[in-house]
């Protein structure tokens, strides 16, 4: 008898757990996808993003083939994004692009994919995988939607990513300078100039190249490189630094000539 009671209670508990998994957070099983969507969207509009995510997930679990599947997936992604759960948000935006590529939320989802990676970027001294991913995704968005609603913002974020990546290469070049590996330093600076010529770090890359030649006592190339930075005059501090180095190198080379 006790065994039958135990089995009955076990089955009862299992059934209750199934009911709970299919119910909304207030205990009622959703029966209308429209009402469930409005309920979830109300949570989202009230900035209750974790609750909204739960409600959108219930809708998608209960009504996967309804017309609300696309907007629910999109706002689930947005709920995760606002909750700073960027990898989870990325999954939902990718699902929109894959399953609803012609839907009304496809464009913004493509943009939000890039923003998810952008939000996970790190400062220049650290690994830049997320920054590189953000740059690629945002450029893909602009390529797919050249007249899109988010192009201006995407370009702004692209410029920020390019600046971070340029700074990363500049820091690497400066490190090689300190270590005395001048060819490696120039390689970093050259890569910066090739990939990010419009970056604010470009002038410092040119200055680093000049500095590498100076450290090698290659006075001719050092003078030429410093003159290039000074004449470009695109960054006041870089130009001033180049002019100061030019003055010192000219004095040094003059002294060398006088001793001969």
For the residues of 125-163, what is the DSSP string, one character each?
TS--HHHHHHHHHHHHHHHH-TT-TTHHHHHHHHHHHHH
| Threshold 0.75, pTM exceeds | yes
pLDDT of 26: 52
81-84 contact pairs (CB < 8 A, 24+): 81/112, 81/115, 81/116, 81/119, 82/47, 82/49, 83/49, 83/50, 83/53, 84/119
> How many domains is the chain built from?
1
pLDDT of 116: 98
User: Cβ of 219: how many Cβ atoms within 10 Å?
Assistant: 15
Q: Is residue 65 part of a domain?
A: yes
Q: Is residue 260 part of a domain?
A: no
Q: Is residue 55 part of a domain?
A: yes
Q: Is residue 75 part of a domain?
A: yes
Q: Is residue 96 part of a domain?
A: yes
Q: Is residue 161 part of a domain?
A: no
- Alpha carbon distance 41, 78 (integer Å): 11
Q: Is residue 127 part of a domain?
A: no
- What average pLDDT values come out for the chain (260 residues) when binned by 10 residues? 41 40 54 95 98 98 96 98 98 97 97 98 97 98 98 98 98 98 98 94 97 95 95 91 93 79
Domain extent, residue 88, equals 33-112
- CATH code where residue 92 lies: 1.25.40.10
User: Cβ of 236: how many Cβ atoms within 10 Å?
Assistant: 9
């Amino acid at each position: 008898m006790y065994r039958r009671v135990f089995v009955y209670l076990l089955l009862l508990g299992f059934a209750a757990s199934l009911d709970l998994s299919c119910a909304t957070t207030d205990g009622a099983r959703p029966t209308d996808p429209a009402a469930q969507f409005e309920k979830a969207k109300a949570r989202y509009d009230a900035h209750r993003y974790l609750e909204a995510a739960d409600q959108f997930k219930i809708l998608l679990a209960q009504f996967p083939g309804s017309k609300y599947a696309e907007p629910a997936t999109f706002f689930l992604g947005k709920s995760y994004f606002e909750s700073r759960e960027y990898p989870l948000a990325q999954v939902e935006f990718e699902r929109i692009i894959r399953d609803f590529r012609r839907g009304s939320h496809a464009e913004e989802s493509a943009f939000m994919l890039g923003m998810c990676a952008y939000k996970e970027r790190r400062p220049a001294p650290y690994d830049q995988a997320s920054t590189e991913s953000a740059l690629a995704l945002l450029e893909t968005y602009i390529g797919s939607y050249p007249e899109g609603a988010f192009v201006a913002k995407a370009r702004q974020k692209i410029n920020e990513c390019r600046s971070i990546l340029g700074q990363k290469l500049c820091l690497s070049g400066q490190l090689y300078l300190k270590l005395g590996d001048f060819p490696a330093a120039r390689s970093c600076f050259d890569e910066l100039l090739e990939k990010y010529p419009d970056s604010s770090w470009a002038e410092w890359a040119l200055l680093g190249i000049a500095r590498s030649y100076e450290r090698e006592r290659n006075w001719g190339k050092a003078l030429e490189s410093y003159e290039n930075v000074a004449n470009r005059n695109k960054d006041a501090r870089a130009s001033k630094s180049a002019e100061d180095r030019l003055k010192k190198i000219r004095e040094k080379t003059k002294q060398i000539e006088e001793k001969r």
